[in-house]
């Protein structure tokens, strides 16, 4: 999704001072757009305290302490059980629990019912430590920690509280056009298996009204679900995007997933006839490509009306 949003920013000729992800999760979009220079700063929030603690530590002077835990802690079934039962008393402990369970649990899920990679028996081809690449994870955390000066806030709060607080900032009052919201709320399908903090039916229904009151530009992404289409298909910024993920069925085939997106930017660009090439295969920059012309690799994203 990040390359797609980067393309919208470019087409709309925006100068984004702050990108806010109130459903941060893995924060991939915010981090990607910050690293590529498409936005100047980011703000992250999540209702899950484990996720919020993780990003607070990553973008703090204590990032090295998290790296030390990564290097020193054993990856065993016993430690997995210990982390699962742990009630963290500080951000660092919560951050490590979040990371440890994400790297050692099936599908990276933090849910209480989710089991370890390889199962309790550990007899399958993939064992509990297969995704716990210490050097790679540690290096990435230290790399991200260098961006701390460009991270305005990391908070454990509801999306509504984050929206209200950002709307009261001087940036919102003086230059609302420099704020971009990326809204990636809990999906409809299998939400109870994916999130510790998911949406009720009422919350899904209330989100469109909250978006109407947002200060700044915004883009919403959802799973391509019947309710999402009902709630947003009449918006002039509604579209469906086909994204090719690295979730392989076998060595030759990749899964193709469709998502619903809605954005005031899409509506504006359509009105100005600046999306005439949609529906074609377009080349967009990948994560961490410099904003200036360079030689970084590229990825293909297929966008469809």
Residue 73, both tokens: 């802690």
Average of per-residue pLDDT across 191-210: 85
Quick one: pLDDT at residue 117? 95
Quick one: pLDDT at residue 41? 98
Quick one: pLDDT at residue 78? 97
Query: What's the pTM?
Result: 0.85
Please give the Cα distance from 266 to 239 (Å, whole number): 8
pLDDT at residue 98 is higher than 80: yes
Average of per-residue pLDDT across 200-209: 93
Q: Tokens 């469709």 correspond to what residue?
A: 258
Nearest CA to 218 out of 19, 29, 40, 32 is that of 19
Please give the Cα distance from 44 to 214 (Å, whole number): 16
pLDDT at residue 289 is higher than 70: no
pLDDT at residue 71 is higher than 80: yes
Quick one: pLDDT at residue 191? 66
Quick one: pLDDT at residue 108? 86
Convert the pLDDT of each residue in 10-60 to its tens digit. Answer: 999 999 999 999 999 999 999 999 999 999 999 999 999 999 999 999 999
Kindly report the CA angle at 223 between 111 and 247, in degrees rounded to 5?
A: 70
Average of per-residue pLDDT across 83-100: 97
Mean pLDDT for the chain overall: 85
Residue 277, both tokens: 């090439």
Average of per-residue pLDDT across 209-233: 94
Range with lowest mean pLDDT among 109-118, 195-204, 243-252:
243-252
Percent of the chain at pLDDT > 70 equals 84
* 124 or 95, greater pLDDT: 95
Quick one: pLDDT at residue 297? 30
Cβ neighbours for 193, distance < 8 A, ≥ 6 positions apart: 109, 111
Strands (E), 86-214: 151-156, 179-183
Q: Tokens 């984050």 correspond to what residue?
A: 162
pLDDT at residue 249 is higher than 90: no
Confidence at 256, pLDDT banded by 50, 70, 90: low
Please give the Cα distance from 133 to 149 (Å, whole number): 27
Please give the Cα distance from 45 to 160 (Å, whole number): 10
Q: How far is CA 292 from CA 13, 36, 38, in A?
A: 15, 9, 10
Quick one: pLDDT at residue 285? 40
Residue 148, both tokens: 């701390």
Quick one: pLDDT at residue 300? 24
């Amino acid at each position: 999704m990040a390359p797609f949003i980067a393309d919208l920013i470019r087409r709309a000729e925006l100068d984004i001072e702050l990108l806010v992800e109130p459903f941060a999760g893995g924060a991939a979009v915010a981090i990607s757009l910050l690293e590529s220079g498409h936005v100047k700063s980011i703000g992250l929030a999540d209702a899950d305290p484990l996720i919020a603690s993780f990003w607070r530590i990553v973008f703090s002077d204590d990032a090295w302490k998290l790296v030390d835990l990564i290097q020193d802690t054993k990856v065993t079934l016993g430690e997995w059980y210990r982390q699962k039962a742990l009630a963290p008393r500080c951000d660092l402990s919560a951050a490590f629990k979040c990371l440890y369970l994400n790297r050692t649990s099936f599908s990276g899920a933090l849910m209480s019912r989710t089991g370890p990679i390889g199962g309790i028996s550990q007899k399958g081809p993939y064992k509990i430590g297969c995704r716990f690449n210490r050097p790679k994870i540690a290096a990435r955390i230290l790399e991200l920690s260098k961006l701390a000066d460009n991270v305005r806030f990391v908070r454990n709060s509801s999306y509504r509280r984050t929206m209200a607080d950002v709307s009261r900032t001087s940036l919102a009052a003086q230059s609302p056009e420099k704020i971009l919201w990326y809204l990636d709320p809990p999906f409809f399908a299998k939400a109870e298996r994916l999130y510790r903090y998911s949406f009720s039916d009422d919350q899904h229904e209330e989100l469109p009204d909250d978006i109407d009151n947002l200060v700044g530009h915004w883009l919403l992404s959802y799973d391509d679900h019947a309710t999402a289409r009902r709630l947003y298909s009449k918006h002039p910024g509604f579209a469906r995007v086909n994204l090719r993920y690295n979730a392989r069925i076998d060595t030759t085939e990749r899964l193709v997933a469709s998502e619903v997106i809605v954005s005031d930017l899409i509506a504006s660009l359509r009105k100005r006839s600046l999306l005439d090439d949609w529906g074609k295969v377009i080349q967009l920059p990948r994560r961490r490509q410099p904003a200036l012309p360079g030689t970084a690799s590229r990825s293909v994203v297929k966008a469809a009306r």
